[in-house]
Amino acid sequence: MLTLVLTAGVVWTVGSLLTNDSPRDQASTGQASAEDKLAADPLPSAAPEAAQPGVDSLSSGQTGTIELPLPMEVGEAGVATGFPQTTQGALAQLAAINSAALTSASVRTAQQVIGHWSTPGGPTTQNWSGVKAVATLLESAGLSADGAGSLVVGVEPKMGFIKGSVGEDFVVPCIDFIITATPTGGQPQQVAAADCQRMVWREGRWVIGPGTEPAPAPSLWPGTQESFDAGYQWLEVPQQ
């Protein structure tokens, strides 16, 4: 039985906590860089139940909208890319990286994704929270490390915010997804999961940069007052 409730709702949050070791890109003086300080700044926490649909009432209030740019091409490991050197472009690239990894329903494919979309000193095939997210999801479904064909995973980037930026080449975007997992012959289940990453502009594209993964963002069901209070805005995803 697929047990998305609680555990899979915070797969990225849990993965980020597991990989939050000492920063890897501090200056030799021991002083944290502006990038480190931005990444480490804590964000609001939330109970795991807040990631589930129907637990909290949807808000009748309003929040802002972030328009995501369209990708211009498909890059390594099948990840959409070609986004502009803007904060919105960094957010869109992170959404594409995470979507490619999770929808694969394969730990090996998720490892291939991060192998092509992380810089030296950044997350690796062993410690990236996205790989841990895929593994957690497959474990919750009682599947092996390659669940392709046995589990269909849909990923919708619904809300997000820009935690901050340093110059034009460093951005920490945060995204709140709705994950829909449907095992063969089973019923679909949905849950929210959030992710933040250090995105850096390298050789004409956004990639996940060096250093410890940022403090985790709360996994919140989109449209609840709690999601608004946490600073999330609606993502307007272009239709191709």
Residue 65 has pLDDT above 70, yes or no: yes
235 vs 12: which has the higher pLDDT: 235
In this predicted structure, what is the pLDDT of residue 171?
98
Give the pLDDT confidence score for residue 224 in this predicted structure. Answer: 95
Q: What is the pTM of this model?
A: 0.88
pLDDT for 12 equals: 55
Neighbours of 102 (CB within 10 A): 26
The confidence band for 103, taking pLDDT boundaries of 50, 70 and 90, is very high
- CATH class for the domain made up of 8-18+46-236: alpha beta
Average model confidence (pLDDT) for the chain? 86
Domain ranges (residues) in the chain: 8-18+46-236
233-236 and 65-67 strand pairing = parallel
Confidence of residue 11 (pLDDT cuts 50, 70, 90): low
The fraction of the chain above a pLDDT of 70, given in percent, is 85
How does DSSP classify residue 211? Answer: S
Q: Given a cut of 90, is residue 15 above it in pLDDT?
A: no
Predicted local confidence at residue 55, as pLDDT: 67
- Going from the C-alpha of 211 to that of each of 21, 120, 127, 172, 197, the distances in angstroms are 10, 9, 12, 12, 10
List CB contacts of 60: < 8 A, sequence separation 6 or more.
none
- Per residue in 18-63, pLDDT (tens digit) is 344 434 444 444 567 999 999 999 999 998 889 988 866 888 888 9
Question: Strand pairing of 80-81 and 170-183?
Answer: unpaired
* Cα(96)–Cα(35) distance, integer angstroms: 22
Dump pLDDT digits (tens) for 143-189.
877 767 788 999 999 999 999 999 999 999 999 999 998 888 888 88
Separation CA 110–CA 100 (nearest Å): 8
Residues of the chain above pLDDT 90, percent: 65
pLDDT of 74:
97
With contact defined as beta carbons under 8 Å apart, do 171 and 186 qualify? no
When pLDDT is cut at 50, 70 and 90, the band that residue 208 belongs to is very high
Question: Which has more pLDDT, 57 or 82?
Answer: 82
Tell me the helix, strand and coil percentages in the chain, rounded to 5: 30, 25, 45
